[in-house]
Structures are given as structure tokens and as C-alpha cells.
Amino acid sequence: MRVCVLGSGSGGNCTYVASATTAVLIDAGLSGRATGLRLAECGASVESIHAICVTHEHSDHTSGLAVLHRGGKVKLYANSGTIEGIDARAGNDKKLQWNVFSTGANFQIGDLSIDPFSVPHDAYDPVGFVIRCGEIRVGVVTDMGMVTGLIRERLRGCNVLVIESNHDEQMLKDADRPWHLKQRISGRQGHLSNQHAAELLTEIAGSHLKAVFLAHLSSECNSSELALRTVSDALKNQGHLHVRVVVAPSDRVSEVWSE
């Protein structure tokens, strides 16, 4: 298995997950051109992608869908709520062809087993994914306002996690932003803070967890150093010294995890 975050943040989110025979993207929030260039950097190509699995309809997760679908003929997977949200934004003349999954029901793409599960976020029917191949499990949850029991259950036992670490709580409070926006971000359907990401990881980490990619960092209310220190220190304090923690950049590909 290989995992690489092509980009993560308000400018676009896209994660590459591949086995020896099957490659998928989780979300397609980068332009088609940027997606192709960043795939090449991690040794892949648009032509090698079998499918795109969409977490929710927000544009920073979907803006590249049409180009990749029509140009590269990549199959698209989403639940009916997300499809409804995307179609509403696109208009009747730009509807895409979809493979529809049900949240909570496993589906298969090649030798990858995909488990979608509900997450709290301000979208139609947002999900996270656990992707399995053999004994390897990869969890991807880039937008969630709070941690639920279901999220803990699904992510427990994963070998690799791509998880939101959006903001530092004090930086968000001090930010020159409208109060309603701060409330949305910190609310139950908003985005996860560094501290809450660290708490989740210390709860579910074990000998199985090898690597964590911290995703969707705010450019104004967070920093790579702060997110990394908050999460790394929490894991080390619990004795999880073996876990590799890295920040997924917004403007370039992350390092590649493989096993």
C-alpha cells in the first residue's frame, strides 16, 4: 500500500491511496492539472487512477471532479446526499455519472475494500473512509467538527491516518474573523482543532499505528509547527514513540508512506 496527500487545506484536498493493482483518490479538490502534476511527483498518473471517492460536496474537495472524470474517465463514487449537493452546485447541464454507495455499507474497488462512515460536518451527508487491502487499513477523515464514538471505532486499528488538525483554539479566538465564522469552525459541524486531534489519536493509537498525516490546516489560525508539536507531544507522552507524524502541505505533495 502507498499513501500520499497531494494537497490539503482550503485551497483543495486530495489524497492518493494505492495497492499494487488499484489506485484511488479520496476527494478531488485540486485542479485537473495540479492533480496530474502532483501524482507524477509521487510516481503515479491520472491514467493510473481507478476511482475518486468523495467525502462531501464542498468545492475544496470537488473542484477537479469534472475534469478528471471526463478527461481521464475516472469513475466517481459518493453517497446520494453528496451527489445531490454537487449536482445542485453544478446545474442540470453539468451532472456527472456516479456510482452510488450507502453510508455505512462497504463497497469494493479492485482489491481495495472501502468503508464509508458518517462524520459531523456542515454538508449534506459527509463521510470519512477506511480503505483496506489485506492487513493494511488506511483511515481518511479531513473535515469533522467533533469526534464521535463511531469515528473512534472506525479509525481504531488503522495503520495510517489522514486526519484533520485544522486550527489552534487560541489562534482562532484571536483571529480577525467574524464571530459567526469562528463559531462555525469551532462548532460541532465545523473543523477539528489540534488539541482535539491529539486527544483522538492518543485514544486510538497502538502498536498498529505507523503514520499520521495532519490535514486541512488553517493558513490563518494554525501553523505546521504548532500542529505537529501538539500532536507529537501528546503521542510521545502516552508512549507512542513509533508513530511517524507529518503535516500534509497545502501547496505540494506530502511524503509517501508505503508498506
List pLDDT tens digits, range 231-246.
Answer: 999 999 999 999 999 9
**pLDDT of 183 over the 70 cut:** yes
**Has residue 146 got a pLDDT over 60?**
yes
Write down the pLDDT at residue 90: 73
pLDDT level of residue 149 (50, 70, 90 thresholds) = very high
Whether the predicted pLDDT of 203 surpasses 90: yes
- pLDDT for 11 beyond 70: yes
Percentage of the chain surpassing pLDDT 70? Answer: 98
Model confidence pLDDT, tens digit, residues 28-78: 999 999 999 999 999 999 999 999 999 999 999 999 999 999 876 799 999
The residue behind cell 452510488 is 100
| Domains with residue ranges and CATH for the chain | 2-251 (3.60.15.10)
d(CA 207, CA 130): 18
| Residue in the structure block whose three cell numbers are 474573523 | 177
Query: From CA 251, how far away is CA 160, in angstroms rounded?
Result: 22
Mean pLDDT of 101-130: 98
> What pLDDT digit, counting tens, does each position of 77-100 carry?
999 999 999 988 776 556 789 999
Please identify which residue in the block is written with the cell numbers 495497492: 19
Instruction: Give the closest residue to 144 by CA, choosing from 120, 176, 177.
Output: 120
Q: Which residues, 6+ apart, have CB-to-CB distance to 153 below 8 Å?
A: none
pLDDT tens per residue, range 114-127: 999 999 999 999 99
On average, the pLDDT of the chain sits at: 95
In this structure, the strands spanning 127-133 and 112-118 are antiparallel
Q: Report, as an integer, the average pLDDT of 197-223.
A: 97
For 103, which DSSP code? T
Q: Give CA–CA dist 192/185, Å, rounded.
A: 8
pTM: 0.96
Q: DSSP label at 64? A: T
Residue 172 has pLDDT above 60, yes or no: yes
Cα torsion angle, 163, 255, 59, 185, sign: positive
In sequence order, which residues have a C-beta less than 8 Å from that of residue 72 and are 6 or more positions away? 32, 46, 47, 49
Averaged pLDDT, 169-185: 94
Letter for the amino acid at 69? H
Q: What's the angle, vertex CA 11, arms to CA 127 and CA 226, rounded to 5?
A: 85
Can you give the pLDDT at residue 93? 58
pLDDT at 92: 53
Confidence (pLDDT) at 138: 98
Q: Rounded to whole angstroms, how far apart are CA atoms 171 and 225?
A: 13
CA 242 to chain CA centroid, Å, is 22
- What amino acid occupies position 177? R
Q: How far apart are CA 159 and CA 17, in angstroms?
A: 13
pLDDT for 173 beyond 70:
yes
